[in-house]
Amino acid sequence: MSLKSERRGIHVDQSELLCKKGCGYYGNPAWQGFCSKCWREEYHKARQKQIQEDWELAERLQREEEEAFASSHSSQGAQSLTFSKFEEKKTNEKTRKVTTVKKFFSASSRVGSKKEIQEAKAPSPSINRQTSIETDRVSKEFIEFLKTFHKTGQEIYKQTKMFLDTMHYKRDLSIEEQSECTQDFYQNVAERMQTRGKVPPERVEKIMDQIEKYIMTRLYKYVFCPETTDDEKKDLAIQKRIRALHWVTPQMLCVPVNEEISEVSDMAVKAITDIIEMDSQRVPRDKLACITRCSKHIFNAVKISKNEPASADDFLPTLIYIVLKGNPPRLQSNIQYITRFCNPSRLMTGEDGYYFTNLCCAVAFIEKLDAQSLNLSQEDFDRYMSGQTSPRKQESENWSPDACLGVKQMYKNLDLLSQLNERQERIMSEARKLEKDLIEWTDGVAKEVQDIVEKYPLEIKPPNQSLAAIDSENVENDKLPPPLQPQVYAG
């Protein structure tokens, strides 16, 4: 089996990780393969098209209502004054409803009124009650960080506070709309710093990281895995899927990692720890940092195992294996959270964006993994998935001196159980075959007897006449001597 055929289900060309619009940035499966910038453009185009269609529909409904009213008014001009007032009231109510529909679909409906903005500036007592120790610490760090920027820092803090207060009144919006508001805020602040504040790009990046840390720490409990989405359902589905794939071995995935080397084993444990730790972080940038650390541990493990730098074809299968072994909690929720609320510049470029895109590809591969992806027959794949059997673990002949005796014994017991399971299945198969053979043999013998009976039928003749007693008078056969007569002798 060639190496190419072994990896046909896992290999991902690096060009496939880029935005399919050809802008040169990294794409994301959650954005249908687009980068953040191109996805927003496509989303706005679709949204504007929908708004235009809804606007035309509202105008058409209004025209139909006016025409219907004019026709009804001309035919019923002689009606009473009371009825005319009723019709006028009804028409005004319909016109008001159509106007409300127009306002709802207009672009200006997204902008709050002055009264709402003034109310948003006031500190919300509910937000103050929900602040935690971590939130207070992040707030102090953010204020201290902005003090070094003087006037620019004051303007940034003012905009950030106004954004948080506005988001407090937008909790009833869908998570996609909240994500769009956050992404707009990131873009507006970055552009304002570069154009008005003349802040260098490297400092803009640092400020944006601090802004993201501050606002997402405050919004985390409201926007991470909200009840209005199916994120939790997807988490349970991928968790159940990974549990069902516990039998997948590194050899099936063509993972070039030798876990018998103690250093490589430690790297694998650290990678699993990092990918699990992602769920404990609140800030999207910190979650991305966990993915990046996990990926670097994977590259180091492959490098030590192969004694050469790892390639992309080595990295992705190993990342899939690490995800299967770690089974990170709330994996889909974390991916969606990063996609929705992370600074888009991090997801579009840099190593963070590259590693995150590979993680999305790994999860997509796990969801669609089948027998062909692992070069297995469908029968074996179904048996492994159902838990009837598991692939035999390849026990190492030369265990490391530091290996735990319990681990050795566990692998021996697993190997023994696997062998016993195979023997039991073989015996049951032979028993079923023997039972089938016995039934077929019995049916065959019965059929042969039936054929012989039909070919040679049994004829029953009447019995012959019974023979006469020896001492009776024999009339038919005179050759016999007469019976003896008793004689009397004188004494």
Do 157 and 262 lie in one domain? The reply is no
CB 189 within 8 A of CB 156: yes
DSSP-based helix, strand, coil % in the chain, nearest 5: 70, 0, 30
The structure's pTM equals 0.61
Do 215 and 295 lie in one domain? The reply is no
Do 429 and 355 lie in one domain? The reply is no
* HSE-CB for 217 with a 13 A CA cutoff: 20
Q: What is the pLDDT of residue 399?
A: 58
Q: What is the pLDDT of residue 260?
A: 85
Do 335 and 282 lie in one domain? The reply is yes
Task: For residue 26, list its beta bridge partners.
Answer: 18
- Domain assignment of residue 412, given as a range: 407-438
Q: What is the pLDDT of residue 88?
A: 56
The C-alpha atoms of residue 124 and residue 130 are separated, in whole angstroms, by 10
Burial track 434-447 (b if 16+ CB lie within 10 A, e otherwise):
eeeeeeeeeeeeee
Task: For residue 18, list its beta bridge partners.
Answer: 26
One-letter identity of residue 116: E
Domain boundary among 438, 459, 478: 438
The C-alpha atoms of residue 357 and residue 304 are separated, in whole angstroms, by 24
Query: Residue 271 maps to which CATH number?
Result: 1.20.1050.80
Name the CA dihedral angle for 58, 64, 67, 73, rounded to a multiple of 10 degrees: -100
The C-alpha atoms of residue 202 and residue 16 are separated, in whole angstroms, by 29
Question: How many helices (H) and strands (E) are present in the chain, helices listed first?
Answer: 19, 0
**pLDDT tens string 43-102:** 667 666 776 776 777 777 777 777 776 776 555 554 444 445 445 555 555 455 444 434
Query: Residue 154 maps to which CATH number?
Result: 1.10.246.120
Q: What is the pLDDT of residue 259?
A: 87
CB 269 within 8 A of CB 246: no
DSSP designation for 279: G
CB 205 within 8 A of CB 345: yes
In a domain, 98, yes or no: no
Q: What angle is formed at CA 361 by the lines to CA 270 and CA 330, rounded to 5 degrees?
A: 60
In a domain, 45, yes or no: yes
Other beta carbons within 10 angstroms of residue 117's beta carbon come to 14
Q: What is the pLDDT of residue 312?
A: 85
Signed CA dihedral, 73, 74, 76, 81: sign only: positive
Q: How many domains in the chain?
A: 4
CB 238 within 8 A of CB 290: no
In a domain, 57, yes or no: yes
Burial track 462-480 (b if 16+ CB lie within 10 A, e otherwise):
eeeeeeeeeeeeeeeeeee
Do 218 and 253 lie in one domain? The reply is no
Do 243 and 178 lie in one domain? The reply is no
Q: What angle is formed at CA 70 by the lines to CA 67 and CA 74, rounded to 5 degrees?
A: 145
In a domain, 345, yes or no: yes
CB 218 within 8 A of CB 164: yes
In a domain, 481, yes or no: no
Nearest to 290 by CA among 222, 245, 338: 338
The C-alpha atoms of residue 326 and residue 272 are separated, in whole angstroms, by 5
One-letter identity of residue 440: E
Token pair for 276: 């699990």
Do 310 and 434 lie in one domain? The reply is no
Do 334 and 420 lie in one domain? The reply is no
Domain boundary among 188, 223, 258: 223
CB 327 within 8 A of CB 236: no
Do 206 and 272 lie in one domain? The reply is no
Do 309 and 415 lie in one domain? The reply is no
**Residue ranges in the chain modelled with pLDDT below 70:** 1-37, 39-44, 46-48, 51, 54, 69, 72-131, 392-403, 464-480, 490-491
N-term to C-term CA, the chain: 124
In a domain, 489, yes or no: no
The C-alpha atoms of residue 180 and residue 91 are separated, in whole angstroms, by 38
Nearest to 218 by CA among 330, 142, 328: 142
In a domain, 215, yes or no: yes
Do 253 and 369 lie in one domain? The reply is yes
Domain boundary among 13, 37, 65: 65
Do 261 and 314 lie in one domain? The reply is yes
Nearest to 295 by CA among 309, 275, 266, 265: 275
In a domain, 5, yes or no: no
* HSE-CB for 289 with a 13 A CA cutoff: 9
252 CB-near residues (< 8 Å, 6+ apart): 374, 375, 376, 391
- SS3 assignment, position 371: coil
